[in-house]
Amino acid sequence: MARLCGTKLNKDCRKLQMTQEKNQFGFTFSGPKKYTRLSPVFVARVPQEGGVQESEQVVSEGELPVFDKNSEEPRLAINIKSPCPVPEEGIQRCREVMESGKMFRYGGLTPGANNPDQTVDDVSLVERSFADVTGHKYCVALNSCGSAIFLSVYAVLQKEKERLSKIPGPTKILTNAFTFAAVPSAIVHAGCEPEYVNCTSQFVIDVEDFERKAKESGAKIAIVSHMRGRLCDMTGVAEVCKKYDITLIEDCAHSLGCDWNGIKSGSSEHGTVAACFSAQSNKLINSGEGGFLVTDDEEIAVRSILVAGSYEYLYKSHLAAPQNFELFEKLKFETPNYSLRMHQITAAIIQPQLPLLEGRYEKHRYNYAIAERRLCELDGIRVPFQLEGANGVGDSLQFNLKGRNWDEANAFTDECKKRGVPMEIFGAHDNARNFKTWQFALPPTDCETSYKHIEYACDLRLPLHLTEAEVHTICDVVEFALQVTA
């Protein structure tokens, strides 16, 4: 069971304790009442006065731990950057697919359930399964989430051509200033202009700024991005979209398994017309590259399937597509083919991971809760919590360095890296999430507000394979590095 630190709880910690009482994590902690400041393994190796090193020695209340810069410990022995391996079943299936040579998306290898003369392709099967996971009617499997965002925009532009043509100037799309570069890139790719919205100190879209920008810009499309699985106030976003007649797309690249007051991220219950998920290596599903567009909207589904590269009558083999073949025929010849289909091998890799998702969420949440609880107690950092109402998965954790300049921030991350805990800082000059680097679509100066929140925000990966002891070691390293580089 989790052992948590905390000789003195700061304000943030008390808040966390309160939210934990509401069972935010889906389980309760039953650690000792008086927590150790550092994990016992590390404390045992910190040189104590008189040189005594008892294995069970812990730092008690009021006593400050000693930090020796030259100490070997703490150090994490495993690689937190390594992605999740493919389950054996997926590896076997890849072999079968490759041996058959039927690797084309519409290659078809599995005998059809109703007609043994027909075959079903792995991509169609995984589309059906993924739609079930997110709770949508329709799903299109693609080569990336970036492609899913691009196709969502494309499909909305086509579907709403008439009303959008009445708005003069370039088509503007409201989106987060703080997100991954793939999001504004997809907007530019679709021939539109991003209208950036600031984030709050919790790294989510600021609903007040969202409304202000919606009003000022007159934009009729929005892509709300849930960076690092942090869900914004979806009730507020949905209200603004309804009020200003804005079509909502959700970038759920990193929010599989997350929900807002019990409503899954990407759900059409918030008025979302299309939601986009990623299967890139650092996500809850790992196929290296891969993405899904899910929707409950028939026309968006048909247009996305066609434009992804379903030509002639290939759409008939989809298993999570509208059965309105008339609509496919009507739109087929006016739709370009952008060839963004998912590969059969990708689908074979993903399929066996889907039944494992619930277990993955649970493990991530457990580890995250421990890390958050420990880190929020440290003086040199601030750990922004998820919004109340947001239920994250926690495969990464973000915290802000307090009162440091860049030299001091780099000294901290260098020390962590030296001790096996590499992490990035969002505001760094070479980080793809730093919008100041997006020369293809730079945000306006009012986005300095967002920059203040992300400038010294550290992004720490908490991969699935971490044990509880390793989570503690990571926290030890962070605490140690903060102290010795202070």
Ligand X SMILES: Cc1ncc(COP(=O)(O)O)c(C=O)c1O
- Residues forming contacts to ligand X in the complex (CB under 6 A) are 144-146, 179-180, 182-183, 225, 227, 251, 253-254, 278, 280, 291
Q: Which is nearer to ligand X, 278 or 310 (CB)?
A: 278
Q: Which is nearer to ligand X, 73 or 424 (CB)?
A: 424
Q: Which is nearer to ligand X, 275 or 370 (CB)?
A: 275
Task: Return the structure tokens found at 166.
Answer: 């009445």
Q: Which is nearer to ligand X, 138 or 203 (CB)?
A: 203
Task: Return the structure tokens found at 149.
Answer: 């965002």
User: Is residue 335 within 8 Å of residue 307, measured between CB atoms?
Assistant: yes
Q: Which is nearer to ligand X, 254 or 382 (CB)?
A: 254
Calculate the alpha carbon distances from 373 to 173, 333, 368, 475 in Å: 37, 56, 8, 10
User: Long-range CB contacts (< 8 A, 24+ apart) of 97-103?
Assistant: 97/122, 97/344, 97/345, 97/348, 98/345, 102/344, 103/343, 103/344, 103/345
Q: Which is nearer to ligand X, 129 or 144 (CB)?
A: 144
Q: Which is nearer to ligand X, 36 or 225 (CB)?
A: 225
Supply the minimum distance, in Å, between the C-beta of residue 249 and ligand X. 12
Supply the minimum distance, in Å, between the C-beta of residue 445 and ligand X. 23
Q: Can you give the C-alpha Rg of the chain in angstroms?
A: 24
> In sequence order, which residues have a C-beta less than 8 Å from that of residue 216 and are 6 or more positions away?
none
Supply the minimum distance, in Å, between the C-beta of residue 186 and ligand X. 8
Q: Which amino acid is at 299?
A: E
User: Is residue 207 within 8 Å of residue 233, measured between CB atoms?
Assistant: yes
User: Is residue 250 within 8 Å of residue 272, measured between CB atoms?
Assistant: yes
Q: Which is nearer to ligand X, 284 or 348 (CB)?
A: 284
Supply the minimum distance, in Å, between the C-beta of residue 398 and ligand X. 13
Supply the minimum distance, in Å, between the C-beta of residue 296 and ligand X. 21
Tally Cβ neighbours within 10 Å of residue 95.
11
Supply the minimum distance, in Å, between the C-beta of residue 141 and ligand X. 12
Task: Return the structure tokens found at 161.
Answer: 């051509």
* Alpha-carbon gap, residue 284 to 79, rounded angstroms: 17
Three-state DSSP string of 442-477: CCCHHHHHHHHHHCCEEEEECCCCCCHHHHHHHHHH
User: Is residue 157 within 8 Å of residue 187, measured between CB atoms?
Assistant: no
User: Is residue 59 within 8 Å of residue 67, measured between CB atoms?
Assistant: no
Supply the minimum distance, in Å, between the C-beta of residue 348 and ligand X. 18
Supply the minimum distance, in Å, between the C-beta of residue 276 and ligand X. 7
* Alpha-carbon gap, residue 427 to 231, rounded angstroms: 20
